[in-house]
Amino acid sequence: MKRSIIIVLILFTNLIFGQKVNLNRGEINAEDYFKEIDFEFVKNKIIIPAKIKDKTYRFILDTGAPNVISNELYELLKPKIIDTIPIYDASEKKEKLKLVSIEKIILGDLEFVNTATLVQDFGSDNPLKCFGTDGFIGSNMLRNSIIQFDLENKKIRITDDKKKLNLKKKHSNRIKLTGTQSNPYAWIELKGKDKGREQVLIDTGMEGLYDLSLKNYIIFEEENIFKVIGVSNGASGFGMFGSPESTQQYQLLLPQMKIKDFTLENLITITSNDSNSKIGAELLRYGILTIDYINKRFYFEPQKESVGIRDEDFGFSRTLKDGNLIVGLVWDENLKNKISYGDVILEINNKPFNLCELLTEKNYFEEENSLELKVEKSDGEVIQIMVEKRTTANTVYKK
């Protein structure tokens, strides 16, 4: 008999503040507006131009984050400091960041004034350096607007009147905005043999399609919704302040996900230590996404009613540590005898590892079906291994 489970989440943001703080500061100097802005889509990062003090900078548009500028841009602009606050990222790493007020940020010809913005040191080993960007445009700046993402035409549309967008109610759902920085959360439906619902962060800064938080999976684990296809100790992803600590994570098959009237079948996801499950920028490949912060609605107009996902991997995931590409989580049982968490990948197909090439140009792990890797083990031994792509959904996990 099929059962249904609903998870009601305590909402957090990607960043957890060590003291009470409100980033919902600033306004837009416009009424009855509509603006189209071209964007770049670089390895699932949405990059837009923004003008500050008559100079154009590049920002990643990230609905799962607040506004952030780099230390270098802070030194150039010298904005007013509001406060210095302790912040934890998704990996629970802590730093103190300056909170400043940017007098004017211009998107197209729309002026956003006195926007609360964090200042972050994007060090040389931070992958964001590779995108040539100066920070993030986040939900706290967009909270008084409606924003539409149209990947097919590489356009972002910003307005305060939903009638200026061709929106259909059948494609919509309500969202909840967090009080601290107005991050948007929506409900999705999950289906295996049992059914469930989950509240997820709409996070255009996340490159993937669906990221399941470990704490949510532990609740869902009692139901027959996800199929376990791998278990591993290690880490994946990269937090704002560096790589996460090693923990046990799961690779899972989700037979069906529904976002309103759009169905995705046979999704592969990996659990994470983040407080939130998330829907990421990969969703833009399947339709037009609109976040109506004003009326608290979420729209997704799909190109097709349903899409089957064919996911392939090399049996392990990667992460970054101290500027190195390392083995993160090993899913393939045969590979566990050869590599483990923390092993450094020195070469890929006889080419020395180059972080920015991997992130912005040629991603060997996506484009190739087999790879030769030179790997340095934790004891200093250097080995050569060949890895082959596998169809992830066909993997059988044996306890």
What does the pLDDT look like over 235-261, one tens digit per residue? Answer: 876 655 556 678 899 999 999 999 999
User: Rounded to two decimals, what is the model's pTM?
Assistant: 0.91
For the stretch 154-210, pLDDT in tens is 999 999 999 999 899 999 999 999 878 999 999 999 999 999 999 999 999 999 999
Q: Which among 257, 290, 308 is the end of a domain?
A: 308
For the chain, the helix, strand and coil percentages under 3-state DSSP, each to the nearest 5: 15, 50, 40
In a domain, 90, yes or no: yes
- Do 177 and 290 reside in the same domain of the chain? yes
pLDDT-derived band at 41, boundaries 50, 70, 90: very high
* Residue range of the domain that includes 344: 312-394
- Do 130 and 235 reside in the same domain of the chain? no
- Do 27 and 156 reside in the same domain of the chain? yes
Q: What is the mean pLDDT of residues 334-339?
A: 95
How many Å is the Cα radius of gyration of the chain? 21
In a domain, 103, yes or no: yes
Q: Which among 115, 134, 162 is the end of a domain?
A: 162
pLDDT-derived band at 10, boundaries 50, 70, 90: very low
Q: Which among 133, 162, 191 is the end of a domain?
A: 162
- Do 143 and 191 reside in the same domain of the chain? no
**CA–CA gap between residue 57 and residue 135 (Å, rounded):** 9
In a domain, 399, yes or no: no
**CA–CA gap between residue 344 and residue 328 (Å, rounded):** 10
pLDDT-derived band at 146, boundaries 50, 70, 90: very high
- Do 358 and 300 reside in the same domain of the chain? no
* 4: Cα within 13 Å, side-chain hemisphere: 4
Paired tokens of 220: 């869902």
CB-based burial, 195-212: b 16+ in 10 Å, e otherwise: bbebbbbbbbbbebbbbb
pLDDT-derived band at 216, boundaries 50, 70, 90: very high
- Do 37 and 77 reside in the same domain of the chain? yes
pLDDT > 70? residue 18: no
Q: What is the mean pLDDT of the chain?
A: 89
Q: What is the CATH number of the domain that holds 195?
A: 2.40.70.10
- Do 88 and 41 reside in the same domain of the chain? yes
- Do 174 and 154 reside in the same domain of the chain? no
Q: What is the CATH number of the domain that holds 330?
A: 2.30.42.10
pLDDT-derived band at 1, boundaries 50, 70, 90: very low
pLDDT > 50? residue 13: no
pLDDT > 50? residue 394: yes
- Do 180 and 304 reside in the same domain of the chain? yes
Q: What is the pLDDT of residue 238?
A: 61
Residues 6+ apart with CB under 8 A from 10: none
- Do 27 and 129 reside in the same domain of the chain? yes
In degrees and rounded to multiples of 5, residue 2 shows phi and psi of: -80, 140
- Do 46 and 141 reside in the same domain of the chain? yes
Whether 307 contacts 265, CB under 8 Å:
yes
In a domain, 1, yes or no: no
pLDDT > 60? residue 386: yes
Q: What is the mean pLDDT of residues 278-292?
A: 97
In a domain, 345, yes or no: yes
Q: What is the mean pLDDT of residues 143-160?
A: 98
3-state secondary structure of 211: strand
In a domain, 173, yes or no: yes
In a domain, 3, yes or no: no
Paired tokens of 3: 């059962």
Q: Picking from 17-21, 33-37, 258-262, which range would have the lowest pLDDT averaged per residue? A: 17-21
pLDDT-derived band at 326, boundaries 50, 70, 90: very high
- Do 176 and 209 reside in the same domain of the chain? yes
In a domain, 155, yes or no: yes
Domain count, the chain: 3
At residue 275, what is the residue type?
A: S
